[in-house]
């Protein structure tokens, strides 16, 4: 399930619009999401493709409950026919939260690669290095909650032998990438 920190808000906006019985189009749903997330409906931060994926998730992901979202050709828009109740339990909620935290770590790493590890984004107090660590700590907190809930076997987490094996594997592939000429001097 592709998630980012705004996905949950978009899902709620879409469901609220569908419950209104006004047959919103994809573009109308996109505008509603833009308005809710960014304060204006004229932006391009939420795409039609994103709305299509969100509708697919709402229709197909059991953790969010299955929603029967239907397109009505006569009305030219979507409506919510019914919902098969399926509330998330604590474990599912924590797993979704973990996925969101992973996406935030990925986003922060991408910013560091684009703008530099020591760059501080205008309006922020922390540089990318500190923000990556901040996001990793958020991720570790959720992992710890899953461990406390019994989802993860605590004896397998932070397994030093597995960590060392991964380091060896990463070094091996870095050497291979260097031999191929796609990675600079790694020594």
Report pLDDT digits (tens) over 116-142.
999 999 989 999 999 999 999 999 999
125 Cα distance to chain centroid: 24
Backbone angles phi, psi at 8, to 5 degrees: -60, -40
Tell me the three state secondary structure of residue 187.
coil
Q: How far apart are CA 144 and CA 133, in angstroms?
A: 16
pLDDT digits (tens, 9 = 90+) for 145-184: 999 999 998 888 888 999 999 999 999 999 999 999 998 8
Distance CA 73, CA 137 (A): 48
Using pLDDT thresholds of 50, 70 and 90, give the confidence band for residue 3. Answer: low
> What is the model's pLDDT at position 187?
67
Domain ranges of the chain: 7-84, 90-156, 160-187
The residues pairing with 80 across neighbouring beta strands, listed in sequence order, are 69
What pLDDT, on the 0 to 100 scale, is given for residue 9? Answer: 87
The class level of CATH for 7-84 reads mainly alpha
Q: 17 with 29: CB under 8 angstroms?
A: yes
What are the E-state strand segments in 17-176?
Answer: 66-72, 77-84
Structural tokens at position 101: 């935290």
Label residue 1 by pLDDT band (50, 70, 90).
very low
Instruction: Decide if 108 contacts 63 (C-beta within 8 A).
Output: no
In terms of pLDDT, which residue wins out, 6 or 109? Answer: 109
Res 142: pLDDT: 95
The pLDDT of residue 176 is 92
Evaluate if residue 17 carries a pLDDT over 70: yes
Q: Is the pLDDT of residue 38 over 90?
A: no
How far is 33 from 11, CA to CA, in rounded Å? Answer: 9
């Amino acid at each position: 399930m592709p998630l980012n920190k705004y996905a949950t808000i978009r899902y709620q906006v879409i469901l609220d619009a569908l419950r209104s019985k006004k047959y919103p189009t994809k573009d109308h749903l996109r505008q509603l999401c833009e308005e809710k997330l960014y304060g204006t409906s004229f932006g391009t931060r939420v795409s039609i493709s994103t709305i299509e994926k969100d509708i697919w998730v709402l229709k197909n992901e059991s953790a969010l409950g299955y929603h029967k979202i239907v397109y009505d050709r006569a009305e030219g828009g979507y409506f919510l026919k019914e919902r098969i109740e399926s509330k998330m339990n604590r474990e599912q909620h924590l797993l979704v939260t973990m996925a969101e935290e992973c996406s935030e770590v990925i986003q922060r790493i991408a910013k560091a690669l684009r703008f530099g590890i020591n760059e501080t984004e205008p309006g922020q107090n922390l540089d990318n290095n500190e923000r990556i660590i901040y996001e990793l700590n958020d991720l570790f907190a959720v992992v710890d909650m899953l461990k406390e809930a019994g989802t993860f076997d605590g004896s397998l987490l932070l397994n030093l032998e597995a960590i060392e094996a991964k380091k060896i594997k990463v070094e091996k592939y870095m050497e291979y990438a260097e031999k191929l000429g796609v990675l600079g001097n790694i020594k």
